[in-house]
Amino acid sequence: MAETNSIANLFDIKDPHIKIEDKVEKKPYKGQIAKVIFGTLSYPFKACPSCGVVNHSTQDMIKHGFVNTTIHLSNIRSQPVLLKLKKQRYHCKHCGATPTVTTSLVDFGCFIAIDNKRYIALELAEEQSMKLISKHLVVSDYTVSCVLKKTGKSLSPHDQSLPEHIGIDEFKSVKSVTESMSCILMDTENGTLMDILRDRKQAAIRDYFMRFSYEARQRVKSITMDMYRPYYQFLKGIFPNAEIIIDRFHLVQHLNCSLNKERVRVMKLIKTSRPTDYRKLKQLWKLILKNREELDFNNYQSHRLFDGLVTEKMIVNYMVSIDDRFEKVYRLINDLKTDIALHNFKHFEKDIEETRKYSLPRQVRTTIQTLQYYLPSIENSLKYTLSNGVLEGTNNKIKNIKRSGYGYRNFDNLRYRILITQKLTVKANKKIRPLLFEEEERAMKDAA
């Protein structure tokens, strides 16, 4: 008896009506050797499930043999553990039905244990293919797909409230979606995923948010986004009290892109006349894009493209001095990046205005004009600590999910997989940053 109780406890068999036998066998199962335990499920029906007649005695219902079933309980070291369960069958003398007793161990009509399905769902939260999950857990691809859909639907948002701070971005989706681009929404204050929208177009986003009441949309205080102009205008109409925040990562990325184009221009200019400098600009591009304040000026090291010992600062100073226009652009871009890093909007606005006094390359001038267009939102970016950093990390995880599964054809399956990855597992409580940079700096000073 003690052995059978140990087996029941080991595999979390809590149904009191299941009597486990004191024997374990090994049998072939789906190309592997499975461990098999045996049990019997029997209890009297209170009433016939078919006609509803109360079961008072053998005049109403009688035992009518057993139904043999095989339940996949779990896996031990990738070895399946099966339960050969004999389920009591009854015969109703009133309607002639032959119902069979059921157990909470499995869903009705299913032979995969509920705990095993939960483990499949946990495996779906990891970055691996569904085919690999089915192979490791010795279940069919169809079973994994069913768990994916059921779990994904249960994690889909159903509430009618909106967070105060929303982040929005697009990502590469599946071919069946228009332009293969979908939209991802996230709570930027605590980094939790809100939802995944099939389409990134304005009409689809408007229809989604219009499901919420006007009062719920009024409570939204900020929208964090990249410099995607179609979103910039119409989101203001949907959220009347929300401030638009441009993600700081995209600001720096925009500036670095202009600086890199200028570097390429100089490379083409000196390709034949100064091949050594051409190679320096080509191979050491990361140092040029690195923030000026982060360049090392203390450690002298030898470099195969330079004579003697040099620091990172000396290397960059030499490269930007190759062309006067390049040096001017480098200084301007880094001034703006420094203003962003220090969250100093007044200096940022002043540096933008200073560019009116001198000529700039076309791509740099276009970048400056773009920044001027978004100046009110950039002020919010340098005022609030909110960003789309977690959202960009989620986009990277989506790429890994698609890569591990060799791509997805069905948008719903991809959406369910993302929801499971982000929502199923309980994450450690992350400390929420103060909303304003001023508050954060004040808190750091107080802590020091």
Select the more confidently predicted residue: 78 or 80. Answer: 80
Report the b/e string of 178-210 with b at 16+ CB within 10 A.
eeeebbbbbbbbebebbebbbbbbeeebeebbe
User: Do the Cβ atoms of 336 and 350 come closer than 8 Å?
Assistant: no
State the average pLDDT for the chain: 91
**pTM score:** 0.86
Q: Is the pLDDT of residue 429 over 80?
A: no
For residue 143, is pLDDT > 90? yes
Which residues pair with residue 69 across a beta bridge? 85
331-390 residue pLDDT tens: 999 999 999 999 999 999 999 999 988 889 999 999 999 999 999 999 999 999 999 999
**Stretch 242-252: mean pLDDT, rounded?**
95
Residue in this structure with the two tokens 């979908």, named with its chain if needed: 182
Q: Which of 77, 7, 3, 67 is nearest to 36 (CA)?
A: 7
Closest CA to 209 of 221, 222, 195: 195
pLDDT above 70: residue 443: yes
- Identify which of 169, 191, 96, 75 has the alpha carbon closest to the alpha carbon of residue 423: 191
Lowest mean pLDDT segment, chosen from 235-249, 281-295, 318-332, 416-430: 416-430
Q: Which of 225, 217, 95 is nearest to 167 (CA)?
A: 225
Say yes or no to pLDDT of 428 above 70. no
Question: What's residue 432's pLDDT?
Answer: 81
The model's pLDDT over 87-98, given as tens digits with 9 standing for 90+, comes to: 999 999 999 999
Please report the pLDDT score of residue 3 as a whole number.
61
Question: What is the per-residue pLDDT across 191-233, written as a single tens digit (0 to 9) for each?
Answer: 899 999 999 899 999 999 999 999 999 999 999 999 888 888 8
pLDDT of 433: 85
pLDDT tops 60 at residue 1: no
Identify the pLDDT of residue 426: 66
pLDDT of 2 over the 60 cut: no
First to last CA, the chain: 63
Interval 393-425: pLDDT, tens: 999 999 999 998 878 889 999 999 999 999 887
State the Cα–Cα distance between residues 223 and 165, nearest whole angstrom: 6
Q: Which pLDDT value is given to residue 442?
A: 87
